[in-house]
Amino acid sequence: MQRHLLYILLFCFIQTANAQFIDLDTIVVIDDYENVGSQKLYSDSLVSTFEIWVKKEVPLHKHEFHTEQVIVLEGEGNMRLGDEWKIIKPGDLIIIPVGTLHQVIVTSSIPLKVLSVQAPEFDGSDRVIMKE
């Protein structure tokens, strides 16, 4: 059931001439990353989709121009959204509106693996790392 929800979400965002079907089970995990690894699955001017792996943490930051939706596929962690902390686990959908402070600390023995859908297109230029 979870996997079907993921496919439906992907299909909602991928409605262009370059429509694709992506089997998440066939994505090769990049092993040579220190803390955060990612693989772009799709991108156009309206949306970007990434698979992201986190071994330790994602520092506190915000995005100035886009909204992010995160679907947890594997692993667990503590996630901060604004001033609130939540435990995240496989099957969770986290919606992060523009300008919302957020960070993740991995608590599982395996990396956190998520699907991240960001709109409009994400190029990294609007990520603002915050100091606590």
49-103: per-residue pLDDT in tens? 999 999 999 999 999 999 999 999 999 999 999 999 999 999 999 999 999 999 9
| Digit-coded pLDDT (tens) for 28-37 | 777 788 999 9
* Single-letter amino acid, residue 39: Q
DSSP 16-28: STT-----GGGPP
Q: What is the pLDDT of residue 40?
A: 93
Alpha-carbon distance 59 to 119, whole Å?
21
Alpha-carbon distance 40 to 92, whole Å?
21
- Closest listed residue to residue 129, CA positions, set 108, 105, 90, 101: 101
Alpha-carbon distance 58 to 55, whole Å?
9
For the cut 90, the answer to whether the pLDDT of residue 13 exceeds it is no
Q: What is the reported pTM?
A: 0.82
Q: What is the pLDDT of residue 32?
A: 84
